[in-house]
Chains A and B, each alone.
Chain A
Amino acid sequence: MKECIKIRGIRQRDVKTVPVLPPRLTSETMAKDMTLWWGSGSPPCWRVLIALEEKNLQGYNQKLLSFEKGEHKSKEVMDVNPRGQLPAFKFGDIVINESYGACFFLESKFKSQGTKLIPDCAGSDNNCALIALIMQRVFEGNTLHQKMADVFMYNRRVPENERHESAFKRLKETLTTELQMWEGHLKKTPGGFLAGENFSMADVIVFPSVALLLRMGLSEDKYPKLAEYYKKLQGRPSVKATWPPTWKETPGQELLKDI
């Protein structure tokens, strides 16, 4: 709201008005307008946490909830996300409950601060090639996450009388093929990150899934490139700052040791 201050000149005719502008909206102020509801270890939630750190938006409000206690179905979450899922993300009146959507929106709105997660295409052929590879990996990340969830969540999603060893076996084989594909991606892409030499949106989206694989017992010997990538990114400030708290407290599992 603009207020105008009248400055009296010497003569009545010289009365001037000077508009008083609202304080410049810093990203710190804007971060305070953001709220993230999240669960520890959930890759979709972790993606948004990493993006917020990379874009220098520390200072956002956050609430850690428990999937085990069913808090993702609480009224508080349902009010923001009628699907009753985490992450749920609000920025002023804006609501984005899709992790990819929140990450893309943050990159778009805060393009000029923090890490550049998606380069600008215009005028640079190299950048265009980079964007293409980033987009390819970002969206393949969906397939990876789905195939992982099919295995991890099998017993939760499929009622007991509908479960089949043959089905579970097939899902594990599908996941194995998928992981071998990502191992191959990392072998073929020099630079250490998913899209080459620089950290990008591809890493924001996919690293949490890779971390979960290792947490669930993926063999570092069978997947050396994935293990190398995992260890490299573990040290990144945004990843360290957002490491799932429950993972620090309890050991992982061995579900994937034979994959």
Chain B
Amino acid sequence: MAKDMTLLWGSGSPPCWRIMIALEEKNLQGYNQKLLSFEKGEHKSKEVMEINPRGQLPAFKCGDKIINESCGVCFFLESKYKSQGTKLIPDCDAEQALMFQRVFEVNTFGDKMGNVIYYNWKVPEGERHDSAIKRNKEALTAEVKLWEGYLQKTSGGFLAGKNFSLADVIVFPAIAYLYRFGLSEERYPKLTEYYKNLMNRPSIKATWPPTWKETPGQDILKDI
């Protein structure tokens, strides 16, 4: 089963990390994997393009089935392996609905984070504006405050309540990314508590980005 699976991934990339956490949680250790380097442009290599014509990571194969969308893989794995490992989709209506809400909010969260962290990479020099940089930072600040609020209002320690769910699989890597890039731990106590709590979860420890262990983070987000 796991041996039929192959994941091409990059260290630290939240979409790649989501799949790795899901594979661990569903007891699918033993999958084939290849760590590639974004810096070296390996995500545009022939090997990746053959699986993912978009030249993006993650690229994922299960037998002859290909899914290159991280959330798609997570939902697929939960569906196919529903009866093994951690139950990632809660049965209770309220918890399940909240899980879906948080899962799909990750897109806007990721976008706003990317607009700040990767501004210079996304925007050619002649098109950059301080006003845009400022606006992007304000948008990210508002977004982070929103998630801090979610964790304040939701008791149980996880994003959808008292059980670890797909919401944590999918959103935790984005939250960890914030801290890697210097988010202030003191300013967002609930987020920090969540981050530190989940850091110790076996599936997350086992899949912690290798490059993060080797090099220090950055402080782009220290004023957010």
Interfacial residues, chain A to chain B (CB-CB below 8 A): 82-83, 91, 93-102, 104-105, 108-109, 118, 120-122, 128-129, 131-133, 135-136, 138-140, 142, 146, 158-159, 161-162, 164, 166-167, 181
Contacts and interface: CB of A to CB of B under 8 A. Distances in A.
15 contacts: A91-B97, A94-B93, A95-B101, A96-B97, A98-B101, A100-B100, A118-B79, A121-B82, A132-B65, A135-B69, A136-B68, A139-B70, A139-B72, A162-B131, A181-B54
Contacts, number: 98
B145 to A, nearest CB: 11
B165 to A, nearest CB: 13
B22 to A, nearest CB: 13
A93 B98 CA distance: 11
B127 interface: yes
A193 to B, nearest CB: 17
A105 B97 contact: yes
A122 B126 contact: no
Given A94-B94, A98-B100, A98-B101, A132 B66 contact: yes
Give chain B's interface secondary structure class: helix
B50 interface: no
Contacts of B82: 121-122
Give chain A's interface secondary structure class: helix
Interface residues of B, number: 39
Contacts of A131: 76, 79-80
Given A131-B76, A162-B129, A98 B66 contact: no
A153 to B, nearest CB: 13
A96 B131 contact: no
Contacts of B101: 95-98, 101
Contact of B71 (A97, A139, A166): A139
A132 B62 contact: yes
A166 B79 contact: no
Given A166-B124, A167-B127, 13 more contacts: A94-B93, A99-B104, A101-B104, A118-B79, A120-B79, A128-B80, A131-B79, A132-B67, A135-B71, A135-B75, A161-B131, A162-B129, A181-B54
B127 A82 contact: no
A109 B62 CA distance: 27
Interface in B18-36: none
A150 to B, nearest CB: 11
